Amino acid sequence: MRILGLDLGSRTLGVAVSDISELIARPVETIRFEEDDYESCLEKLKTVLQEYQIKKAVLGLPRHMNGDIGIRGEISIHFKEQLEQLGIEVVLWDERLTTMAAQRILISADVSRKKRKQVIDQMAAVQILQSYLDSQK
């Protein structure tokens, strides 16, 4: 079984997937949608869920540095509920600093600023999923 990693933003959804052995996460795509149009985001995500036969997803939960859940966190919780209605088990995962870590990885790999902007959400999803996979060992 593969597990999906998701990094939800206001206009993008970074998507990553694990290998079959659930050891390694890799980027899949960035789903783009109109600002705060999570319904169309979910519709586009359904294709990925079917393609990889996903039954479980790890969704980044944005928190403030003090641990509080703000408006972005509330949106992620609602998105989790929508995924669960599709029969997907969803694990919320603390995503603090994942985008910064993904940015550092891309910079150290000498990826251009333009290319980084295109793949940063996917790489953040990889960071979320990989930290979850590592915690399960």
CATH number (domain holding residue 70): 3.30.420.140
Backbone angles phi, psi at 48, to 5 degrees: -65, -45
| Nearest residue to 26 via CA among 37, 15, 36, 34 | 15
**What is the pLDDT at residue 118?**
65
List the domain range (segments joined by +) for residue 56.
3-135
> Three-class SS of residue 52?
coil
pTM, entire model: 0.86
Encode 90-112: b = buried (16+ Cβ within 10 Å), e = exposed.
Answer: bbbbebeebbebbbeebeeeebe
Residues in the chain: 137
pLDDT in single tens digits along all 137 residues of the chain:
899 999 999 999 999 999 999 999 999 999 999 999 999 999 999 999 999 999 999 999 987 667 678 898 999 999 999 999 999 999 999 886 666 666 676 677 776 777 656 667 888 899 999 999 999 98
Do 130 and 98 meet the contact criterion of CB atoms below 8 Å apart? no
How many structural domains compose the chain?
A: 1
Q: pLDDT at position 66, please?
A: 74
